[in-house]
Structure 1
Amino acid sequence: MNIKKVLFFSVLTFTIFVLLGCVGGSEPTHNDDGDLIVRLGNQTATNSKLPEGDTFEDNAYTRLAEELLEIEIINEFEANGEDYDRQIALTISSGELPDIMQVSVEELEELYENGYIADLSEVFDEYASDYIKELYDSYEVNPLETTSFDGGLYGLPAVVNVTPPHMIWVRQDWIDELDLDFDSDGDRLITIEELEFLAQTFIDENPGDADNPVGIPLAHWLNEPGYGGAFTMTTIASTFGAYPRNWIEDADGNVTNGSIMPETKESLALVKDWFERGILDPQFGTRSWDDIMALAVNNQTGILTGAWHMPDWGLSNVKEMNPDVVFEAYTLVDDQNQINIASQDPIGSVAVVSSDFDHPEILVELINVFYDTLKNELNLEEVYPDIYEYQVLDVDGATRPLNMEVLSSTSELDDYSFIRDAVNGDIEVNDIPDARSQTLATSIMEYQNDPENASTAAWALYHSRMKGLELGQSVTDNGNLVWINPVFFGTTPALEQYYGNLISLEEEEFIKIITGEESIDHFDTFVEMWYDQGGEEILAEIEAEIAE
């Protein structure tokens, strides 16, 4: 009888335990095959180029990670752009995190302060490959310092050495068709006057045979602090020594924001003049990113500002609709034949691990796989054929479980130099010490050898590397770049509270100035508004941070 009672209560206890686990316990941590389940907050891309049937949760990259690490990847949520930002905000407010996700530096600090994320110090030291550690060490200031708090490491940042300058991508086939005397010395360094001439000529001659041709389209946000965005006036402002949205020192050594400096007023006056003369898009201020891209696709414009890699994710759409299109990369110089550049923080998003996840080493192992193992596998086609095929198809890297890059401080130009040497026949493709660059060189040679029958992906890679990165290498070698160093990249309480509204204020007031609703002198009123609406408090806090 006592034995029966013991058995009865043992079964009852086990049943209650199982029921509680089903009702209020945690989700299963392993699948039926015994593989660890890893739940991601997945940041997707708009133009992934995934083959039919593959998804952000199930593709060549995720399948390889699952095989090598004996895990099953489940995307707890998928989102892009502002939708992703909103999803992260909801996740933080609820305190219910996926196992791994990517956040901003500001969100990282909030997660740390609330105890939501794991200290990665020990697992990084133990699991990170020597190569990954060297990548982070290659920067003048190790980016891991930014993601460390009180002696602990709470996130692994994306790091990219952004190759300047901001460029102007021009329809070279139109220049050739019109037999224009443009950039006669071939250095691809052009002046404001030359750009104006080209824009006006494209409008007047309309080589695209389009309704309502547009000279120069710019996005309504107009400014970004770095060199990776599209449709901004970054290269235009640089000719005036203007650095909008960068925290820099003024002539008196005081911290200021480039958006409120006199040089930015000068660059706005130029863009305003373009609007009045019809050189700037008449619908400036109202078009979305897709609208501007459609102008290029529909042959309404042949001038687009953007980064060196713009052919890979934007201009390739133009190629799809216009098979004979040829772009060339140019950049603007000031009256001293110089390109003024503000150096940039290499840190992008930060990958974090929930403090509730028992295997934080998985994040480090994922980074090893995608930014060491695959990058340095010289026989990629045979060892990882599915990944090789993705690279041939130019599938967006955002389809990896981590939508980020972990690159050395000189990676872009280092990779380009090997690609250039292989394309020029100075070395063999197999001599390139990087699998991805081997694939790129092969595709570029495919285009170079038979441009009429080459794929759009090969066309894009040729343009982005042999024109975009080549221009970056050229201006670096020739000493055209004049650098200034922003004094602050972080955040402060006032910056978090007010800066979003100040960005909106800037966009609204600059649109009014350019489109003629306000005069150029309204810029001075904007500066006063900027100080009054939080700017003064932000600057005081930044000064205090720097003083510390």
Structure 2
Amino acid sequence: MTTKRSMKSNLFTKRLAVLSMSAMMVTVLAACGGSTEAPTAEDAGKYEVNPGEPFSAYKDEISVTMGRVTTANPKLPAGDTYENNAYTRLVKDTFNAKITDQFEANGEDYSRQVSLAIASGELPDMMRVDSKDELKELVDNDLIEDLTAVYDQYATDEIKKIYDSYDGRALGNATIDGRLMGLPATSLDSAPTMVWVRQDWLDLLGIKLDADGDGAITLEEVEQTAQQFLKKDPGQSGNPVGIPFVNTMNTTDYNGSAYTMLGVASTQNAFPQYWMKGEDGKIFYGSTTEETKQMLGIMANWFKAGIIDPQFGTRTFDDITALYANGQSGIAFGPWHIPDWGLISVKQMDKNAKFSAYTLEDANGKVNVAHANPSNQFIVVRKGYEHPELAVKIVNLFYDKLANDKDVATTMPEAAKYQETGVDGSTRPFNIEVNSATSLLDDYSDVVRGIKGEISLEEVRTTESKNNIGSIKTYLSDMDTDNTTAWSKYHSRINGVGLIDKLTKEKKFVWMTPAFSGTTSSMKQTWANLSKLEQESFIKIITGSEPIDYFDTFVVNWRKQGGDQVIQEIESEITSQP
């Protein structure tokens, strides 16, 4: 069976092969042409109006070529492009630096452009790479600048504070052999996976969930609610179905946990697909643990009882979204922001739809979650580019100055208009996010205080939060409103992020820090097959075509077919780290 996950893994494996061949070609080119002496941080001063300052302009116009990650619908105003827009003009006005795009692409097309640039030896001056493996490839072939000195000298205190909020994990991901080789994007902890339940259906059927009001419910409560929804069909669909799950089972990114079983796994303290370190210091794979076996047993029992969608294993992501929109199912597992892009389709079909958000607790009343990999995207600078400090300055401009300027409408009016009208963030020079580890809850605090009138809009940290305050006020003034944006922002921020804030303050989370993320040498050859083995084995167990003890067979096969070798490589890599 060809699965969505195995297809993705195969593409990743092929791409790594291209990168490996490309690296060989670049090595030959470098040997023939010699190397370029890298500029130092001090060199920049002779070109700058105010040498060494975080926002210093250049005396004469400089140029920078870029590889740009685009999106299908950036919402740019007429006449503006990725290369010439309010954000690139802001760079020109601030630094006297003109951006030219060497290539623009999205998704796998962008990955191919990066591979081709490496193969030809013609890298743009700056570009985004989307994995630690790509970063290592570039470092191993001496293709990118060491940014240690320019980061130390040019990064603002705020940018340093943002990166430091990850306790060294963000910059650590971008550091190889003690050198900062890229500027990392940041990925916030967005746990837990939530259980979104149709509140209007609960009210209709007189079901009371979460009696103690702590925001956490049990698997038994989910099961009983699902049975009532199936029996009484509150959506009047005529064909109610159990809880639909994607067949990818789980995820190591809570941001992408829509329709997965990660929440169920958490009740058993299971972390499938995470690399973890045991008390003995040994590395193990979360999908092969006894806790994961227990999770699969629960899912198998649910499937047998009809609690799970009988077409589990065959539904696409869009099929599942349609089940909710059609009123066939009223319990959805997903992240805090699923109302903004998934459950909003339910509101569009049923104006009375409302959801409440809960999370699942374990037998001890705790919520088990894993820290996100804080960075897996990096901005890199071509070896030999004369102005590597410009990369740090651009980060300063967009993720400090623009993000925190209280009078942005006056100081940067074009950029402010983009934010107000929802122009996509990919149109910034770097298509990354750089936010502090606490920014999600900081924004929530601003929104709540703004709604209550405790702070003015001018005191709110971000334009996005200002816009969310307006939307949520619209919803609160009329909860039956047809304004789907107001509905979704209320559900995602007040219900979703509000739950994370509550659980954080009440210390309900038990955090696990993954031991490793990335790719080892043998994974390039074996991981696609190992992932396929895992997925197909889990589907067989859940749907009952194999008994629960088949899990033990899966573990044996997984270890024999390359899993043990991967573990050895991870342990070796971790041991070698300074």
Q: How does the TM-score come out when normalised to structure 1? A: 0.85
Query: Counterpart of 1:99?
Result: 125
Query: Counterpart of 2:67?
Result: 41
CA contact (8 A) 1:200 1:279 kept: yes
Give the counterpart of 2:555 among 527, 531, 535. Answer: 527
Query: Counterpart of 1:345?
Result: 373
2:236 partner letter: D
CA contact (8 A) 2:351 2:482 kept: no
Query: Counterpart of 1:173?
Result: 200
**Aligned residue runs from structure 1 range 381-400, under 5 A:** 381-400=409-428
1:59 and 1:203 map into 2 onto residues whose CA distance is 52
2:321 and 2:91 map into 1 onto residues whose CA distance is 35
Which of 38-47 and 165-174 deviates more? 38-47
Give the counterpart of 2:344 among 302, 316, 320. Answer: 316
2:485 partner letter: A
Query: Counterpart of 1:202?
Result: 229
Q: Aligned-pair distance for 1:76?
A: 0.9
CA contact (8 A) 2:83 2:99 kept: no
Q: How does the TM-score come out when normalised to structure 2? A: 0.81
Q: Aligned-pair distance for 1:501?
A: 3.2
Per-residue Cα deviation, 1:21-75 (whole angstroms, up to 9, x for no partner):
xxxxxxxxxxxxx965544333344675667876655655445445544424436
2:288 partner letter: I
The number of residues matched between the two structures is 514
1:333 partner letter: E
Which of 370-379 and 383-392 deviates more? 383-392
C-alpha distance 243-142 of structure 1, shift in aligned 2 (>3 A): closer
CA contact (8 A) 1:249 1:487 kept: yes
1:307 and 1:227 map into 2 onto residues whose CA distance is 6
> Helix, strand or coil for the counterpart of 2:343?
helix
Q: Aligned-pair distance for 1:171?
A: 2.1
> Helix, strand or coil for the counterpart of 2:377?
strand
C-alpha distance 147-384 of structure 1, shift in aligned 2 (>3 A): same
Query: Counterpart of 1:442?
Result: 470
CA contact (8 A) 1:168 1:305 kept: yes
1:98 partner letter: P
1:133 equivalent in alignment to 2:163: no
Query: Counterpart of 2:220?
Result: 193
1:118 and 1:430 map into 2 onto residues whose CA distance is 39
Query: Counterpart of 2:243?
Result: 216
CA contact (8 A) 2:241 2:309 kept: yes
Query: Counterpart of 1:469?
Result: 497
C-alpha distance 277-463 of structure 1, shift in aligned 2 (>3 A): same
Q: Aligned-pair distance for 1:265?
A: 0.8
2:392 partner letter: V
> Helix, strand or coil for the counterpart of 1:218?
coil
1:486 and 1:348 map into 2 onto residues whose CA distance is 14
> Helix, strand or coil for the counterpart of 2:101?
strand
1:51 and 1:36 map into 2 onto residues whose CA distance is 26
CA contact (8 A) 1:57 1:75 kept: no
> Helix, strand or coil for the counterpart of 2:249?
coil
Gaps of 5+ in 1: 1-33
Q: Aligned-pair distance for 1:522?
A: 1.4
Query: Counterpart of 2:310?
Result: 282
Query: Counterpart of 1:418?
Result: 446
2:165 partner letter: S
CA contact (8 A) 1:37 1:74 kept: no
1:47 and 1:194 map into 2 onto residues whose CA distance is 41
Query: Counterpart of 1:144?
Result: 171
> Helix, strand or coil for the counterpart of 2:376?
strand
Q: Aligned-pair distance for 1:266?
A: 0.9
C-alpha distance 525-161 of structure 1, shift in aligned 2 (>3 A): same
Gaps of 5+ in 2: 1-59
Which of 155-164 and 103-112 deviates more? 155-164
Query: Counterpart of 1:11?
Result: none
1:376 equivalent in alignment to 2:404: yes
> Helix, strand or coil for the counterpart of 1:228?
helix
C-alpha distance 147-236 of structure 1, shift in aligned 2 (>3 A): same
CA contact (8 A) 2:170 2:184 kept: yes
Query: Counterpart of 2:436?
Result: 408
Which of 254-263 and 494-503 deviates more? 494-503
Query: Counterpart of 2:566?
Result: 538
1:116 and 1:48 map into 2 onto residues whose CA distance is 31
1:202 and 1:265 map into 2 onto residues whose CA distance is 28
1:95 and 1:468 map into 2 onto residues whose CA distance is 46
C-alpha distance 89-305 of structure 1, shift in aligned 2 (>3 A): farther
**Aligned residue runs from structure 1 range 224-303, under 5 A:** 224-229=251-256, 230-250=258-278, 253-303=281-331
C-alpha distance 299-39 of structure 1, shift in aligned 2 (>3 A): farther
Q: Aligned-pair distance for 1:307?
A: 1.5
1:110 and 1:291 map into 2 onto residues whose CA distance is 39
Q: Aligned-pair distance for 1:163?
A: 3.0
Per-residue Cα deviation, 1:149-206 (whole angstroms, up to 9, x for no partner):
3443221111133132121222222222333222233332111111112222223333
Query: Counterpart of 1:18?
Result: none
2:124 partner letter: P
2:84 and 2:225 map into 1 onto residues whose CA distance is 46
Give the counterpart of 1:110 among 113, 121, 137. Answer: 137
> Helix, strand or coil for the counterpart of 2:254?
coil
Q: Aligned-pair distance for 1:264?
A: 0.4
Per-residue Cα deviation, 1:270-319 (whole angstroms, up to 9, x for no partner):
11222222221222222332332233333332222222122233333443
1:93 and 1:515 map into 2 onto residues whose CA distance is 45
Query: Counterpart of 1:456?
Result: 484
Q: Aligned-pair distance for 1:489?
A: 3.3
1:340 partner letter: N
2:557 partner letter: M
CA contact (8 A) 1:41 1:101 kept: yes
> Helix, strand or coil for the counterpart of 1:213?
coil
Q: Aligned-pair distance for 1:132?
A: 1.0
C-alpha distance 547-72 of structure 1, shift in aligned 2 (>3 A): closer
Which of 255-264 and 323-332 deviates more? 323-332
1:390 and 1:150 map into 2 onto residues whose CA distance is 40
